Chains A and B, each alone.
Chain A
Amino acid sequence: MVFSWIVSILRPLGMAFRHIFKYRFTVKYPYYVLETSERYRGRPVLDLAKCVGCGVCATICPNKAITMVNIENRRYPQFDAGRCCFCGFCAYFCLTSALKMNGGYELSEYDKSNLIYPPEKLVKVPPPPPERKKVVKLKKLSLSTGVTHG
């Protein structure tokens, strides 16, 4: 009983010591970025040629982030990034697959009125920031050396 007492005090020390020699789990974010899967839901991106202006996206959005505006006798969606909850229903229920959710997640702006995206801005996917070095993903899962990204 005394032996199990001593073991239960010393064993955590040994396990913590083993962990010092493993790789780290974290990724140094702005320089290395984790790869996102194809289904990853960023902000929506519009394909102007396919959009017919039906308005299903505005009907189905839970937060009313998409509203339809009139441009030259046609209707296009206007998107408010401050209200979006990134659920993806607008792209899922779009009748012509004109909306896709691959606009990324780096959406900060300095001015709140820039968060409302008129249809011309909704078309563009922004480029990655300049200080980014590369995109990594999870490579190896091993008990002895830990998790490696590369």
Chain B
Amino acid sequence: MSIMRVRWGPQHPVSGQWAFWLDVDGDIVVNMEPDIGYTHRGIEKVAENRTYIQNVPVVERTSVFDAGNIVFGYVQAVEELMGIEIPERAKYIRTIVGEMSRIVSHLYGLCLLAIAVGFETMLMWFINDRELFLDLFEMLTGARITYSFFIPGGVLHDLPQGFYDEAMRRLDYFERRLKDYWKMFFLNRTFITRTRGVGVLKREDAIRLGVVGPNLRASGVEADVRKDEPYAAYDQIDFIIPTEKEGDAYARGGVRFHELEQSVSIIRQALQKIPDGKIRVKVPITPTPPKGEAYSRVETARGEIGYYIISDGSNRPYRVKISAPSFRNLLAMPFLSRNVPMADIPTIYLSLDLIPLDVDR
């Protein structure tokens, strides 16, 4: 049969903010080419014209859903350039915010996986429970989604009164809800039929393609920046890294789900072990680090992000290079989309958790 070229453009119910070309033979997809660039805002160029503290809201918009962890790498690189050391309490607060941000982002990623198979109920339940944590963010930082809470030198505000009790109440409720979700979503026979064996990424292929994050861990590779090069307070908290062996869409969803449980335990330990002290080292309003370059890696919810900052002695960076996780995972998508039925394309794409904002920056 002849091959038809179909475009799932940016105005498609399931495609997100990018487009792809599919070569379809009957019902089987033969080839897939992504067409990115619809949300390119030039963040790396904009960051060259702002000072180091003004860059924090700019860099945060790289990926809005995971706003805590994205800024983490930037402030660590700037602190390495300036050669300052932040107090312990600031490290613990950064860990707490990073883990809450990971929970919020994984709930969003699982909701996208539910949309791909046509399951509206789980979409609503996950978004409902995201509200619990957005209220905690509002109590702590003042905003719900893009909080701009980290600056080079520490964090902006301290934990308010009543944060500990409120956080414990919500974490207890959330942990019990997770059991309901496991039974309703992952033990649902139709969902298992739909995602088992779909988009299998073997271990050697995952390492060769350079996939990062939960997608790598679902193929059996134990690689996590929080354990390999610990930063902030992660070396004083114990947690495990969930991995699975099969590498299909069900395993990727399962890894994200188990990471939710681990994040809840990390937040509990951090809230109990947090020391007293200052939260911020005094830094001038327009800091001027000496000449040099710095690189720092952080584990966001979607994978590992790398920041490479070159400074030439003035109060604006010379170059900020962001190596985003979704851009690295993008290469797995055409690889997995050969000879699959067309109904599996949304499942593969949304189980890899690619966010076009991350891809284009």
The reply, when asked whether chain A contacts chain B directly with Cβ atoms under 8 A, is yes
Q: Is A110 an interface residue (CB 8 A)?
A: no
B282, chain A: closest CB distance, angstroms? 12
Known contacts A59-B286, A143-B176; A11 and B57 CB within 8 A of each other: no
Interchain CB contact (< 8 A) of A15 among B143, B170, B184, B192: B184
Q: In the complex, what's the smallest C-beta–C-beta distance from B202 to chain A, in angstroms?
A: 27
Contact B142 A15 (CB under 8 A): no
Report A51-91 residues with CB < 8 Å from chain B CB. 56, 59-63, 85-89
B351 interface hit (Cβ, 8 Å): no
Chain B CB within 10 A, most for which of A39, A138, A143: A39
Chain B residue numbers with a CB within 8 Å of A36 are 138
| Cβ contacts under 8 Å, A37 to chain B | 138-139, 142, 160
The verdict on A11 contacting B142 (CB below 8 Å), with A87-B148, A143-B173 known, is no
The complex places the Cα of A6 from the Cα of B4 at a distance, in Å, of 41
Chain A residues at the B interface, C-beta cutoff of 8 Å:
5, 8-9, 11-12, 15-16, 25, 36-37, 39-41, 56, 59-63, 85-89, 92-93, 101, 138, 141-143, 147
- Which of A25, A59, A86, A141 interacts with B143 by CB under 8 Å? A86
Contact B192 A16 (CB under 8 A): no
- How far apart are A80's CB and chain B's nearest CB, in angstroms? 16
A101 to B157, CA, bound (A): 14
Q: Is the CB of B184 within 8 A of A39?
A: no
Given A60-B285, A92-B156, the answer on whether A15 and B131 have CB atoms closer than 8 Å is no
Cα of A36 to Cα of B143 in the assembled complex, Å: 10
Distance between A83 CB and nearest chain B CB, rounded to angstroms: 12
B138 x A93 contact (CB < 8 A): no
- Collect the chain B residues with CB atoms within 8 Å of residue A8's CB: 187-189, 192
CB neighbours of A92 from chain B (8 A)? 156
Interface contact B189-A25, CB-CB below 8 Å: no
Partner of A12, one of B53, B58, B188, B285: B188
Query: CB distance B188 to A62 under 8 Å?
Result: no
Contact residues in A for B156 (Cβ distance below 8 Å): 88, 92
- Given A62-B54, A92-B156, A93-B285, is A15 in contact with B180 using a C-beta cutoff of 8 Å? yes
Which 4 pairs between the two chains have the least Cβ-Cβ distance? A39-B142, A62-B54, A8-B189, A41-B142
- A62-B180 contact, Cβ under 8 Å, with A9-B189, A37-B139: no
**Could you write out 20 A-B pairs with CB less than 8 Å apart?**
A8-B187, A11-B183, A11-B184, A15-B180, A39-B139, A39-B160, A40-B143, A41-B143, A60-B54, A61-B54, A62-B56, A63-B57, A85-B146, A87-B146, A88-B142, A93-B285, A101-B142, A141-B169, A143-B177, A147-B128
Q: Which residue in chain B gives the minimum CB-CB distance to A86?
A: B143
Cβ contact within 8 Å between A88 and B148: yes
Select which of B53, B184, B188, B189 is within 8 A of A60 by beta carbon.
B53
| A86: chain B residues within 8 A (beta carbon) | 143
- Is there contact, CB below 8 Å, between B138 and A39? yes
Residues of B within 8 A of A59 (CB): 285-286
Q: For chain B residues 132-146, which have a beta carbon within 8 Å of chain A?
A: 132, 135, 138-143, 146
Asked if B347 is an interface residue, CB under 8 A from chain A, the answer is: no
List the A residue with the shortest CB-CB distance to B170.
Answer: A141
Residue B236 CB within 8 A of the other chain: no
Residues in B with CB closer than 8 Å to A63 are 57
CB distance from A63 to the nearest CB of B (A): 8
Contacts A12-B184, A89-B148 given: A62-B58 contact, CB under 8 Å? yes
> Using Cβ atoms and an 8 Å threshold, which residues of chain B touch A25?
128, 131
A41: nearest chain-B partner, CB-CB: B142
Chain A residue with Cβ nearest B46: A62
A5 close to B189 (CB less than 8 A):
yes
Measured between alpha carbons, how far is A59 from B58 in the docked complex, in Å?
15
CA of A5 to CA of B192, assembled, Å:
11
- In the assembled complex, the Cα of A82 lies from the Cα of B132 at a distance in Å of 29
Contacts of A147 in B (CB 8 A): 128
Q: State in angstroms the CA–CA spacing of A5 and B157 once bound together.
A: 51
